[in-house]
Amino acid sequence: MSQNLSSVRSAWFASTILAAASFSLATPAAAQDSEVSSDDEGQLAAIIVTANRRQENLQDVAVSAEILDQDRIDTIFSAGGDVTALAGSVPGLNIESSNGRVAPRFYIRGLGNTDFDLAASQPVSVLLDEVVLENVTLKSFPIFDVERIEVLRGPQGTLFGRNTPAGIVKVDSIKPGFERDIRASLSYGSFDTVSLNAAVGDGLIEDVLAFRIAIQSQSRSDWIDNGFTGENNALGGFSDFAIRGQLLFTPTDRFSMNAALNYRDLDGSSTFFRANVLGPGNNKLNANYDRDTVFYDAGGGNRAEYEQLGATLTTSYEFDFATLTSIGSYWTSKGFSRGDIDGGNLVTGPGFIPFPSDTQDSIDLEQYTQEIRLASNGDGPLSWQVGGFYFESDFDVTTVGFDFPPPVTVNHTNEAWALFGQLSYELTDTVRVTGGLRYTDDEKDFFVRSGAAPQPVSVGDDQFDWDIAVFADVSDDASVYAKVANSFRGPTIQGRDVAFFNPPSVAQSENITSYEAGFKAELADRRVRLNGAVFYYTVENPQFTAVGGTGNLVQLINANKGEAYGFELDSAFQITPNFLVTLGVAYNNTEIKDRTLEVGTCAQCTVTDPTRTVQGAFGPVTFAAIDGNPFPNAPEWSGDLTARYSIPVGKSGEFFIFTDWIYLGETNFLLYESREFNAGSRFEGGLRVGYVGNNGEWEIAAFARNITGEDNVLGVVDFNNNTAFVNEPRVIGVSFGVNY
């Protein structure tokens, strides 16, 4: 497979060069702001989205979406946060990770995957500049110098491919332009947390050649004591550096080419597990919990080191009738993370730990993608686009137990291709119909390279995704829409258990059918925006991961069916020209439907599902029936609130105060239910107070993240003891930024 991947890469570079040489006319591709400024002071800005692979006003698109702009993104990451800091920033979006700053797990409308294996697939796709970051380690690539983040809720299979039945998190970086753009910011906060962002872009040859270079450097000193060894400030530090370079070439009015290179170097910490900090008999953090202290006898310092590199070449040619776009990319990800999984030690605990667990997982990955798309031009009643997509990945995963079991290396390959198309037609001046269709062929292979028997496994599937939507303007300020969509996630192979003397497990394809109806309105002379949607979906053969249990297994399973319904409401209120409030809320009720499905349970927790116990090879094993349980990591309620108030100073300055809050309701972490392994309502807030001078050219501010110092449980480890991991600590700091 590696030789095939190398030959495909060579062919891609050659074909791209030939394609570029064959084009003779072109149009510049200038960066576009995520929000278009309004003509009238005090109105809400129009939000531009690319949910249909075109730039459109959010109010004209039949999709439930929320957009995070540059200011909100910068605020979220001001304290050195990683991708998981986006959790809750959009109603219905949850993100968590048990692998530190890598391998995040995404959930939209309750649908996600709790699998911590580095080969895990997810029903939420993450895209960076139109390129899918398929592997879980690539999904963690730092978010910086971006124009916007679009969160598209619900199936997106026809235009964005398989593995999108839950939705998409779409990240668009700021592109090169022909006007000089220099911006930088530096912040310093608690625990010696430092975050540096800088970007410079300019034209090199007028209207022909432009560049942009952006960097982000985040770091924190060790701040967690190891109570077992007696070492203070022994753990918790990290250094995470990323850089992006782009070169835009527009030799004529019809052709553009943008070459981008992304690189990341992470030297940091994996997740800090904490033994016996829950219950027993409830989900409260007990006296064993101390945010500033762990009690590790293993884990090698809970280190995580990763290097990632990605190259993307985007070319477009504008014919009279349509625009041809080619997007090719090549990504690599290599690194490891190690952890003291039992969260303590056998001498002082805390609490009872039946056996030690110290493991390390590493990955060496290559991913290649190529998309070619032809989209119609013009303003007529009919618009269309057709295209093709190819995906290939090849990676090794090595699992090491210290000192047992011995290292095992397994190999995963995935090859997929697709053909897709979409039509949109204006039936009248106020009614539009859009339909899409995609055919995908998806093949995966697995074998053991070393450390165990070969145990080869191959799976594959080919299916059609489709959707149809009707969008109607009911007035100049309000619209309604209805949408039915079908999408699938291809079959998955889980091989980590080979390292623990178990065969690989397989989950067959899952299929989702979603029904959605919504409204979009801008009221009070565009000073109030209300966008809402109600949805219902069913998932046939949903893929779940049975994690942990007394057998310490990670097994893929299919349930017979999953079902969910709920609503989302996104709103914005321009109360005065200097006072903006946004409020979002989502309700999501999920349920597993399978009367015969059972999973292994925990070692020490209090299971509330019906159980049965059988005699296993090493003693009694208890199974819980999970029919009727909610999906894991799927809070019923979620929401976010932001408010910004400013006071003008003179003609060019302003004082401002900005606050943002997220809420995630009661959440069950596992497939089975227990009194310990769930979370009550969680909330976190941030505050930023500062001064902006010279019409936005510079800013000085004080900030706080997790300002109230909440101790929120984000996830658990259930096979050994009542172990959990928690959110980031409160960080208070100052920042200074410039923007020319």
pLDDT of residue 550: 61
C-alpha span between 416 and 164 (Å, rounded) = 14
Strand partners, 656: 646, 690
Q: Would you state the torsion angle of the CA atoms of residues 609, 614, 615, 620, taken in this order, to the nearest 10 degrees?
A: 10
Ordered by where they begin, the domains of the chain are 2-739 (2.40.170.20)
| The pLDDT of residue 14 | 41
Scored b (16 or more CB within 10 A) or e, 220-246 reads: bebbbbbbbeeeeebbbbbebbbbbeb
pLDDT at 21: 37
Q: By C-alpha distance, which of 636, 691, 696, 690 is closest to 668?
A: 636
Instruction: Give per-residue pLDDT as tens, 647-683.
Output: 999 999 999 999 999 999 999 999 999 999 999 999 9
What pTM value is reported for the model? 0.93
Please give the pLDDT value at position 420: 98
DSSP per-residue letters across 294-322: E--S-STTTEEEEEEEEEEEEEEEE-SSE
Nearest to 431 by CA among 469, 486, 484: 469
Q: Of the candidates 300, 290, 182, 358, which has an alpha carbon nearest to the alpha carbon of residue 739?
A: 182
Report the C-alpha gap between 418 and 440 in whole angstroms: 4
Segments of the chain scoring below 50 in pLDDT: 1-39
Is residue 496 within 8 A of residue 536, CB to CB? The reply is: no
| 58: Cα separation from own chain's centroid | 21
C-alpha pair distances (Å), 389 with each of 325, 386, 417? 12, 10, 5
Predicted pLDDT at 552: 61
Output DSSP code: residue 13. Answer: H
- pLDDT at position 403 is 85
Cβ atoms of residues 363 and 397 within 8 Å: yes
Q: Do residues 540 and 486 touch, judged by C-beta distance below 8 A? A: no
Positive or negative, the Cα torsion across 74, 80, 83, 86?
negative
Residue 724 DSSP SS3: strand
Q: What is the DSSP letter of 85?
A: G
Distance CA 633, CA 640 (A): 18
- pLDDT for position 40: 61
Mean pLDDT of the chain: 92
* Cα angle value 474/475/478 (rounded, 5°): 75
Sequence letter at residue 207: D
| HSE value, Cβ hemisphere, 13 Å, CA-based, for 220 | 26
Q: How many CB atoms lie within 10 A of CB 301?
A: 18
